[in-house]
Each structure stands twice: as structure tokens, then as C-alpha cells.
Amino acid sequence: MILTLKTGVTEKEINEIKNKVKELGYSPEISKGLDKTLVLVKGERAIISRDIFESFEIVESITPISEPYKLVSRKWKKKSIINVGGVKIGSGNIVFMAGPCSVESLENTMEIAETVKAAGATILRGGAFKPRTSPYSFQGLGEEGLKYLRKAADKTGLKVITEAMNIEQLKLVVQYADIVQLGARNMQNFELLKACGYVDKPILLKRGFSNTIKEFLMSAEYIASKGNTDIILCERGIRTFSDYVRFTLDISALPVLKKLTHLPIVVDPSHPAGNRDYVEPLALAAAAAGADGLIIEVHPNPQKASSDGAQTVYPDQFKEIVRKANAIRELLK
């Protein structure tokens, strides 16, 4: 961490800063340029004390040198492969997670499970607890939905991923699901992140639609810091001024995250698209840019889906996406 001091700082003030650096257990090094005085604060985790130095009147700005995360960093480990009962995420192949936005009935869940399995999916997705912008919208089937997912998965040999929105739901979800999903709106729900750190199931952490890459990794670090390092990151679009699609898929997050972290990265092309016509091109772009998996909303009759029908693809469209994405991955290996 480098502290840039304000012009006109006195020797006395520089000494105060130096003492504070030492008091916190780091080592200071002073460098005087033509114009500015810099203080290098040496210490592997010095950045954690950023707040303290920011509050000093004479500190003009602070430059981090080391990243504030550790367990999720590639410095710690080169590559993680998450094994979900035999389905390996991060191994070089693309893992397909597919299913309806919301779980609707056992019959319907069974039908979709068989369809997506036949098309190439290995993990069944579906919401039993739904985060809805409006209090008047359908809020999900709850535990009943979890049971349907489990049954449909067991019958077809798929694994289950589903979302928990709070600690109570988390306790239920871990009983039925193989992967716990944390939604974009909960990426900085720090209490929920900590609770996920004590769970013995992999966590798929969706990036908040307005969170930086650094905040994304800090949230993963929250989970890892409590003991659970089976974390799958998921890019699902960010909020920008662009208004033709629901969210702007940040395709560059893929190579950037691959450089910074050992965790696998999955892409959700459905939510940024907001329209089923755009799901395939976004999914294929993600495959070409190195995604470890794709999580896609599929329904045999989107007009009858309880939520998100506009962005839900038909089973035939999903089949095409699987075929093409796999071919791209083979080609790039």
C-alpha cells in the first residue's frame, strides 16, 4: 500500500504517519519526489488497514499494491475443480445447468428434468424461493419446490442447484440441493455469506449487478474465510446505461477472473438477455471466452412459466446451445 501525502506536509506529520504504520505492525519507507512525499507501507495484508490511513488529513490518496483477498487468489492455488457428486466444474469442459426459472409442479419439473438431461445438462436448476422486485408477484413454492427438484433430479440422475435467500432457507436448501445458489441481490449479504462458509455444499455465488470484480472476490473470500472453499463464481450481467437488454453481460469478467482467482466461473446468459433470442449468442460468446459452465432457463412452454418467460428458451434452442458450445470448447482446447 502506498500513501501519497498532500503537498506541504511537515516532517512532524510524516513522523506521525510512520509511527502509525509501525504501531500496526507494518514497515514504512519514505520516498520524496519533486512534488509529493510517498509512504510505502510494507506488509502482506497492509491493505486491510486502508481505512485508518484514509482518515488522516495529510493523506491525499492511497494505492493498494496487494489485493485484499487471499484464499480465493491465484497466488494461493492455481486452479480449483469443484466435484459435485461426479460432475466436475472447472475441469476444462463446459457444465450445463438448466431448468425453469421457478419450480411449478412435480409433473412439470420431471418433464423439464428429462428434457434438459437429454439435451446435455448435468445439473437441474429451478427456484423454490424467488427474489421478486414486486411484493405482488409469485414468490415460489418453498420447501415443496425443493422436494420436486430433488425427486426430478434423483429420477434422471441430475444434480440440483437452487437459491437460498436467507439463513432459514439455507438450512432447508442444503437438505435438498447439491449446490446452493446465492443470488446477485445477496452478493453483499455478509451474514448469509458467512453462513455459507459453514455449509458442506458447494456455493454458486452470482455477481451483484453493480459490483466490481474486487467486491465479487471479497464476497467469495467471506465464504472461504469460514472454511468452505468450494465456490463457483457466476457472471450474470451488470447494470449500465445500455437499455436494449436487461443487463450488460460483462464478457471481459471471464479472462479477468481467470487471471485473479483459482475458482471456476460460470455464465448466466438468460438474465442479461432478457429475451430468448439473445440467449444463444451470449452463451456461445461465454463458451469462446472460457466459461466453465452455463446456467440457462429452459421451459417447454415459456408462455406458461410462472416467471421470466421472456428470456426462457425452448428445449430445442437449449439443445442447439449445448451442441455448439461444446464444439467451440473442443476446438479451443
Backbone phi, psi, residue 37, to 5°: -105, 135
Q: Which stretch binds a second copy (CB under 8 A): 87-95, 109-117, 174-182, 285-293?
A: 285-293
Distance of CA 171 to the CA centre of its chain: 20
Per DSSP bridges, beta strands 82-84 and 87-89 are antiparallel
By CB under 8 A, tell whether 308 contacts a second copy: yes
By CB under 8 A, tell whether 324 contacts a second copy: yes
- Binding residue for a second copy (CB under 8 A) from 85, 92, 252, 316? 252
- Binding residue for a second copy (CB under 8 A) from 8, 51, 86, 200? 51
- Binding residue for a second copy (CB under 8 A) from 6, 18, 288, 317? 288
Nearest to 297 by CA among 98, 117, 145, 135: 98
By CB under 8 A, tell whether 172 contacts a second copy: no
Size of the site for a second copy (CB under 8 A): 104
> What's the min distance (Å) between Cβ of 85 and a second copy?
28
By CB under 8 A, tell whether 249 contacts a second copy: yes
By CB under 8 A, tell whether 23 contacts a second copy: no
For residue 41, the SS3 value is strand
By CB under 8 A, tell whether 134 contacts a second copy: yes
By CB under 8 A, tell whether 298 contacts a second copy: no
> What's the min distance (Å) between Cβ of 229 and a second copy?
13
For residue 319, the SS3 value is helix
Q: Which of residues 203-232 bind a second copy (CB under 8 A)?
A: 208-210, 212-215, 218, 221-222, 225-226
Handedness of CA 179, 288, 324, 79 (dihedral sign): negative
Separation between Cα atoms, residue 330 and residue 243, nearest integer Å: 34
By CB under 8 A, tell whether 35 contacts a second copy: yes
> What's the min distance (Å) between Cβ of 180 and a second copy?
15
- Shorter beta-carbon distance to a second copy: residue 20 or 151: 20
For the chain, state the CA radius of gyration. 23
Is 37 exposed, middle or buried, given 0-12, 13-18 or 19+ CB atoms closer than 10 A? buried
Q: Which of residues 255-284 bind a second copy (CB under 8 A)?
A: 255-256, 259, 272-273, 277-278, 281-282, 284
- Asked if 56 and 64 touch (Cβ cutoff 8 Å), the reply is no
Instruction: Classify the phi-psi angles of 53: left when phi > 0, otherwise alpha if psi is within -120 to 50, otherwise beta.
Output: alpha
DSSP 225: H
- Binding residue for a second copy (CB under 8 A) from 302, 318, 319, 321? 302
Residues 6+ apart with CB under 8 A from 75: none
- Binding residue for a second copy (CB under 8 A) from 24, 38, 106, 174? 38
- Binding residue for a second copy (CB under 8 A) from 65, 118, 143, 175? 65
Q: Which of residues 85-124 bind a second copy (CB under 8 A)?
A: none
Tell me which H or E stretch contains 288: helix 279-288
